[in-house]
Structure 1
Amino acid sequence: MPAGERRLDVTWDERFDVIVVGSGAAGFTAALTAAADGASVVVLEKAAMTGGTTRKSAAWFWVPNNRLMRAAGIDDPRDSALQYMARLARPAEYAPSHPTLGLPAEEFAALEAFYDHGDEALAALEELGALDVGGVMEFPDYFAHLDEDVPKRGRSLWPAAAEGGQQGGQVLLEGFHRAADRLGVEVRTSTPAVDLVLGEDGEALGVVVDGERGRQRVRAERGVVFATGGFTHDPALRRDHLRGPYVGGCAAVTNTGDFVKLAQAAGAVLANMQQAWSAPIVLERLQRDPGGVAGSFVIPGDGLIIVNRAGERVLNEKAPYHEQTRAFFSWDPVSGRYPNLPLIAIWDEQVAATVGGVDFGNPVPPAHVDAYWVIGADDLAGLETAIAERLTAVGLAAGHDRLAPDFEANLRRTLARYGDFADSGVDLDFRRGETPIELAGAAMFGPGDGANPTMRRLSETGPYYATLLGPGTLDTKGGPRVDVQGRVLRADGSTIPGLYGAGNCVASPSGEAYWGAGGTIGPIFCFAYLAGRHVAARVGAAA
């Protein structure tokens, strides 16, 4: 039955008060909240295991005015927090004197709701035993240097037991499952929801699932909450909607835009479809291991630079990963190509020996792994040859698969210029090492001892190493527009009764911003919590 078809004569195989589709941070938060409010809840997961992209993540969450900040005496005023979020969400529209700071009214209302209810959502999850909040109050926001950021720090949190490490997502899911068991939430894997069942007035009555029990219709007496992730792994949706030539991403491979298609057929309006949570990604790791690859959230080492196919630096290598990714989308109107696609990270032996690791998508490998993605050579001439060969093997589009004829000469000039900046401590080209988040990253992942702790002149002798980077997504952040309660909206602003969405499958009020570490999951907790509360209190139509 195609989504959008009105049916009054449905035979239901099962009934629950609330159906939640998806089992990551958004899905579990909505399910646990609804169950705690007395609803019978089933969680339907498309994959063979729960967790989605959350399982792969460190599960940091960015929440303004949280209780750890307050306990530490860090003030986070509402007006300035809203200004910080709005300034980055819509930088071309931001107007500090405007009643909604220049944002569309519905986006501003969502930012207000996030400030007002974000910590409330954390408290609710803690009370349910699903989460134990930890964090280090000194960790700065990604744009702590902006005047709009008053507290500068303290908003990035994590599951306490993980202590900020890569295993945070697994720790979070263990807590979710324990709480789900206590609350009687039924969780089914390998059970995709393939269709919506709509009533005569367009109300979402339930879903069609195709799982181990065969194709069945499951009734939601109060509502259906979709939390199925974005469309990272649907190449057609990426091509049609994203703002640049993303090569893929590190979201769960099941994130194929399912809710975009179902909600559109049900009459939903889409928003923010051009935006994604972004990070550079190692191309060869993406090609070989699309399910396990991570974005390069950390690119450590003071003796490492990133250049384009002409051998020139084009970005601040220590800027937040989301901001680095914007450099890939530069367009050359003369050649008719993207000159920064791909980019090439280059480092020396000291970096290779000191900062290799497997967490957070580090492109510099430790000694014990098969570093198939690393290109190595004894000198710069050999490195150019090896990079050129690897570019051809990777199979990029014509024109993006070869180096400029003067790559080696340009690279030598680039290295000399970078070395002079490192010696002086000031990067006159890209201001590397000037912001609090860059210095915090250097302190965590390998600071240098020079005038600028993020910079060091690369060795004048080899060996040298390199890898190819492309623009990737953590996941997309566009989809059906929802209100602050998670209700899916039509183009005229009316709600589709009984249909909710949360997480990366719906339009994010963050716009194009990435406010700080955990900027994905923090809002997800808040809005999934609000959706869970609202759907649990709803009285649906008889069917």
Structure 2
Amino acid sequence: MKRFVSLALALALILLACVYAQAEELPIFEHSVDWDAEYDVIVVGLGAAGASTAITAAEAGANVLVLEKAPEGHAGGNSAVCMQWAAMVDDKEQAMTYMKSMREDFETPTDEMIDVYISEVMNNEQWLTDLGAPNVTRHEWVEFPDMEGAGSIFLLTVDGNLGFSQAGLKPSGALYKFLKDKVESFENVTVWYEAPATHLVQDKNTRIVHGVEAEIDGEPVLVRAKDGVVLCCGGYESNARMLEDFNDVHDSPSLANAIYNTGDGIMMALEAGARLWHMSNIVGPNTGYRFDSDAMTFGASAGKGMLVGGDGAVYKSVGRSGHGKMLFYGNYTLALYPQRTFAIYDANSVGVQPIHHSFSEGNAWEIEHGFYTIADTIEELAEAIDVPAETLVASVEEFNAAAEYPIEEGPFYSIPISHCVGNTQGGPERGLGGEIIALDGTPIPHLYEAGELGDVWSHCYQASCNIGGGMAYGRISGTNAAAPKTDNWDGSVMEEKTPYTYVIEEPEFEVGENQYLGRGEGKGQVPMVVRVTVAEGDITDVEILEDWETPGFADRAKEETIAQIIETDQAVVDVISGATMTSVGIMSAVADALSNID
């Protein structure tokens, strides 16, 4: 019997040794992937949240790669062109009360997450100051004055941006530009532009996210992240199908022309097993004039004209709204607008005031360039814009009964006032530490998020909290992603391998006789290149060879600024109202070109 037991024990030990030997021979997951490069942390997206994440991870000593989908001139998404407001809090208790009020009866964010969020937002002012941001300034702003705690979340701007002013909305991109420049100042941060992330590289057995697959020049590039991946790639404002499926919104382009915000982070997180939250919550619909390029003005009103819906009836707002939420019989709901809306004028009212601060005096340039539909009678105008003539005639009569500028004298004018989406708030569910949450309620290892992707806002939203909250959760997620991990292989996968070489080919511009190149900075302080032709001391032509201005929005500024420069033979001329940065960019580029004349 003893001999039999000894034999059985020996066989068991041999079998166990074989199992261990096989286990040692099994490949480590990191070795099963043919990696092209390796970093400690990968940040997907270079908006305000991505920049804050990269800065924080870099300051923690991590070697950081930022993958930005857009070309450099369009980088930043909403962060580059929004109002440049960052949230700040002094009174934590009141701010938490206000945020709970904005939540109304929704279950999320939890009180614990509100505590974490507000606590970190309270650090925004000192953080910007410590980074060296110029002229960090406080401003008051209350989104929902009827809610308890209102006024406890206020605004920060940098570099002289005044937020709302009597001159209207004039964002300069100052805060985003500062954060982007700060990212690029770190030696341990690398930025790849035109490098969209397409998939996460995940071990399905352990659920650990080990890296990212990016697409560069049409080819896949696999990059390992030793310690963490942070998704900061914004929402899905430019994904028409998602807007229809999740929000019952149709034909509403991105307010900020954030054409690269197509929900990539949502799709990647779903592949990794994430669950979603806040998908029904969007900032919008907003209204504005929609250019042929789908770019939108920020806000537009009928001014002294009449606003009608697609049925020709006078459109009347049914409640006060704040960032896309409308007070409706005691509760806030998504703001309601007709799918088709038109502003109607006659010959006397059309030029009284521009419908938007970017439009010309008396709307003259826009009328000349076909922005308005023009007809001799109201009936003909109704036919031209495809609304019932009988209803439109009745609406004019109703409007005229109390109008300061009645619609009486032809020709008659109409301009469409379109819907647009400011931004979306939904995405992968977020944990307290920025972790992305799986379907079973546990964190997906090594995967984090910050910014508008899966943001904490389930219902009402306070202006400044997307950038301000993106900065806050960028610091939280950046810190946690950069922390060394112990559940994966800590060696390098690039030994005896040549890392992928990322190269952007700079455009080359030709110049002929008496032609000179110049460079300036346009909207968002993004580079602009012009070619100036000079003949016998006179400026005869100015060509814009490269710019990143919003299509449609900047057309008048380009045309009129160049015309003034040629007419006056001077680089510095009057700026075009509503497109100041475009005008300044052209002027500075022309001045630079003229400085190259011997």
* Partner secondary structure for residue 180 of structure 2: helix
Alpha-carbon contact 1:377-1:462 (below 8 Å) kept: no
Query: What is the alpha-carbon distance in structure 1 between the residues aligned to residue 297 and residue 399 of structure 2?
Result: 26
Q: Say if 1:194 and 1:305 are closer, same or farther in 2 by CA, change over 3 A.
A: same
Aligned to 2:112: 109
Moved more, 367-376 or 247-256: 367-376
Aligned to 2:211: 206
Aligned to 2:381: 386
Aligned to 2:155: 156
Alpha-carbon contact 1:374-1:467 (below 8 Å) kept: yes
1:239 to 231, 235, 244: 244
Using the TM superposition, give the Cα deviation of residue 307 of structure 1 relative to its aligned residue in structure 2, in angstroms: 2.7
Using the TM superposition, give the Cα deviation of residue 327 of structure 1 relative to its aligned residue in structure 2, in angstroms: 9.6
Aligned to 1:486: 434
Query: What is the alpha-carbon distance in structure 1 between the residues aligned to residue 160 and residue 184 of structure 2?
Result: 20
Structure 2 unaligned runs (5+)? 1-28, 491-598
Aligned to 1:536: 482
Name the TM-score, length of structure 2 as normaliser: 0.67
Aligned to 2:222: 217
Alpha-carbon contact 1:131-1:176 (below 8 Å) kept: no
1:268 corresponds to 2:282: no
Query: What is the alpha-carbon distance in structure 2 between the residues aligned to residue 357 and residue 388 of structure 1?
Result: 26
Alpha-carbon contact 1:132-1:161 (below 8 Å) kept: yes
1:47 corresponds to 2:70: yes
| 1:307 alignment partner AA | V
Using the TM superposition, give the Cα deviation of residue 342 of structure 1 relative to its aligned residue in structure 2, in angstroms: 1.3
Using the TM superposition, give the Cα deviation of residue 321 of structure 1 relative to its aligned residue in structure 2, in angstroms: 5.5
Using the TM superposition, give the Cα deviation of residue 113 of structure 1 relative to its aligned residue in structure 2, in angstroms: 2.1
Alpha-carbon contact 1:260-1:480 (below 8 Å) kept: yes
1:512 to 456, 459, 468: 459
1:197 corresponds to 2:201: yes
Query: What is the alpha-carbon distance in structure 2 between the residues aligned to residue 276 and residue 220 of structure 1?
Result: 32
Aligned to 1:29: 52
Alpha-carbon contact 1:224-1:499 (below 8 Å) kept: yes
Using the TM superposition, give the Cα deviation of residue 390 of structure 1 relative to its aligned residue in structure 2, in angstroms: 3.1
Alpha-carbon contact 1:204-1:224 (below 8 Å) kept: yes
Q: Say if 1:54 and 1:131 are closer, same or farther in 2 by CA, change over 3 A.
A: farther
* Partner secondary structure for residue 143 of structure 1: coil
Aligned to 1:525: 471
Query: What is the alpha-carbon distance in structure 1 between the residues aligned to residue 415 and residue 326 of structure 2?
Result: 16
* Partner secondary structure for residue 406 of structure 1: helix
Query: What is the alpha-carbon distance in structure 2 between the residues aligned to residue 389 and residue 317 of structure 1?
Result: 31
Using the TM superposition, give the Cα deviation of residue 495 of structure 1 relative to its aligned residue in structure 2, in angstroms: 0.3
Query: What is the alpha-carbon distance in structure 1 between the residues aligned to residue 86 and residue 360 of structure 2?
Result: 24
Using the TM superposition, give the Cα deviation of residue 512 of structure 1 relative to its aligned residue in structure 2, in angstroms: 2.4
Query: What is the alpha-carbon distance in structure 1 between the residues aligned to residue 297 and residue 326 of structure 2?
Result: 12
Using the TM superposition, give the Cα deviation of residue 328 of structure 1 relative to its aligned residue in structure 2, in angstroms: 9.0
Using the TM superposition, give the Cα deviation of residue 235 of structure 1 relative to its aligned residue in structure 2, in angstroms: 1.9
Moved more, 304-313 or 250-259: 304-313
1:307 corresponds to 2:308: yes
Aligned to 1:124: 127
Aligned to 1:424: none
Aligned to 1:375: 373
Superposition map of 1:272-287 within 5 A: 272-282=278-288, 284-285=290-291
Q: Say if 1:323 and 1:388 are closer, same or farther in 2 by CA, change over 3 A.
A: farther
Alpha-carbon contact 1:61-1:158 (below 8 Å) kept: yes
The Cα offsets for residues 15-45 of structure 1, whole Å up to 9 and x where unpaired, read as 1111111111111111111111211111111
Name the TM-score, length of structure 1 as normaliser: 0.73
Superposition map of 1:52-91 within 5 A: 52-65=77-90, 77-89=91-103, 91=104
| 2:148 alignment partner AA | E
* Partner secondary structure for residue 160 of structure 2: helix
Provide the aligned C-alpha RMSD in A. Answer: 3.3
Query: What is the alpha-carbon distance in structure 2 between the residues aligned to residue 351 and residue 390 of structure 1?
Result: 17
Aligned to 2:7: none
Q: Say if 1:150 and 1:190 are closer, same or farther in 2 by CA, change over 3 A.
A: closer
Query: What is the alpha-carbon distance in structure 2 between the residues aligned to residue 365 and residue 17 of structure 1?
Result: 56
The Cα offsets for residues 270-309 of structure 1, whole Å up to 9 and x where unpaired, read as 1111121114344642xx113xx235335484x3553322
Q: Say if 1:246 and 1:172 are closer, same or farther in 2 by CA, change over 3 A.
A: same
The Cα offsets for residues 365-418 of structure 1, whole Å up to 9 and x where unpaired, read as 85445654333457xx43x53254234xxxxxxxxxx3373222133214435x
Query: What is the alpha-carbon distance in structure 2 between the residues aligned to residue 131 and residue 220 of structure 1?
Result: 33
* Partner secondary structure for residue 161 of structure 1: coil
Alpha-carbon contact 1:118-1:523 (below 8 Å) kept: yes
Q: How many matched pairs?
A: 444
Query: What is the alpha-carbon distance in structure 1 between the residues aligned to residue 430 and residue 221 of structure 2?
Result: 27
Using the TM superposition, give the Cα deviation of residue 226 of structure 1 relative to its aligned residue in structure 2, in angstroms: 0.9
Query: What is the alpha-carbon distance in structure 2 between the residues aligned to residue 148 and residue 177 of structure 1?
Result: 36
Structure 1 unaligned runs (5+)? 1-5, 66-76, 94-102, 331-338, 392-401, 420-456
**Structure with max Cα Rg:** 2
Aligned to 1:405: 390
Alpha-carbon contact 1:84-1:149 (below 8 Å) kept: yes
Q: Say if 1:415 and 1:7 are closer, same or farther in 2 by CA, change over 3 A.
A: farther
* Partner secondary structure for residue 28 of structure 1: helix
Using the TM superposition, give the Cα deviation of residue 214 of structure 1 relative to its aligned residue in structure 2, in angstroms: 4.0
2:182 to 158, 179, 196: 179
Q: Say if 1:321 and 1:499 are closer, same or farther in 2 by CA, change over 3 A.
A: closer
Using the TM superposition, give the Cα deviation of residue 161 of structure 1 relative to its aligned residue in structure 2, in angstroms: 3.0
Superposition map of 1:277-426 within 5 A: 277-282=283-288, 284-285=290-291, 288-290=292-294, 293-297=295-299, 299=301, 301=303, 303-308=304-309, 309-315=311-317, 319-320=321-322, 322-323=324-325, 340-346=338-344, 349=348, 352-355=351-354, 357-359=356-358, 366-369=363-366, 372-376=370-374, 381-382=377-378, 385-391=380-386, 402-403=387-388, 405-417=390-402, 419=403
Q: Say if 1:512 and 1:131 are closer, same or farther in 2 by CA, change over 3 A.
A: farther
**Which one has the bigger strand percentage?**
2
Query: What is the alpha-carbon distance in structure 2 between the residues aligned to residue 125 and residue 459 of structure 1?
Result: 51
Paired-residue identity, %: 23
Using the TM superposition, give the Cα deviation of residue 201 of structure 1 relative to its aligned residue in structure 2, in angstroms: 0.5
Q: Say if 1:328 and 1:182 are closer, same or farther in 2 by CA, change over 3 A.
A: closer
Q: Say if 1:252 and 1:284 are closer, same or farther in 2 by CA, change over 3 A.
A: closer
Q: Say if 1:494 and 1:318 are closer, same or farther in 2 by CA, change over 3 A.
A: closer
Aligned to 1:441: none
Aligned to 1:502: 450
Using the TM superposition, give the Cα deviation of residue 203 of structure 1 relative to its aligned residue in structure 2, in angstroms: 0.8
Using the TM superposition, give the Cα deviation of residue 356 of structure 1 relative to its aligned residue in structure 2, in angstroms: 5.1
Q: Say if 1:374 and 1:328 are closer, same or farther in 2 by CA, change over 3 A.
A: farther
Q: Say if 1:528 and 1:207 are closer, same or farther in 2 by CA, change over 3 A.
A: same
Using the TM superposition, give the Cα deviation of residue 78 of structure 1 relative to its aligned residue in structure 2, in angstroms: 3.3
The Cα offsets for residues 298-335 of structure 1, whole Å up to 9 and x where unpaired, read as 5484x3553322322321698545247999976xxxxx
Which is bigger in relative contact order (C-alpha 8 A, separation at least 6)? 1
Moved more, 473-482 or 303-312: 303-312
* Partner secondary structure for residue 224 of structure 2: strand
Alpha-carbon contact 1:18-1:34 (below 8 Å) kept: yes
The Cα offsets for residues 103-154 of structure 1, whole Å up to 9 and x where unpaired, read as 42644333222221113134223312356522433xx31222x1514437x7
* Partner secondary structure for residue 504 of structure 1: coil
Query: What is the alpha-carbon distance in structure 2 between the residues aligned to residue 149 and residue 23 of structure 1?
Result: 33
Q: Say if 1:213 and 1:356 are closer, same or farther in 2 by CA, change over 3 A.
A: closer
Alpha-carbon contact 1:118-1:522 (below 8 Å) kept: yes
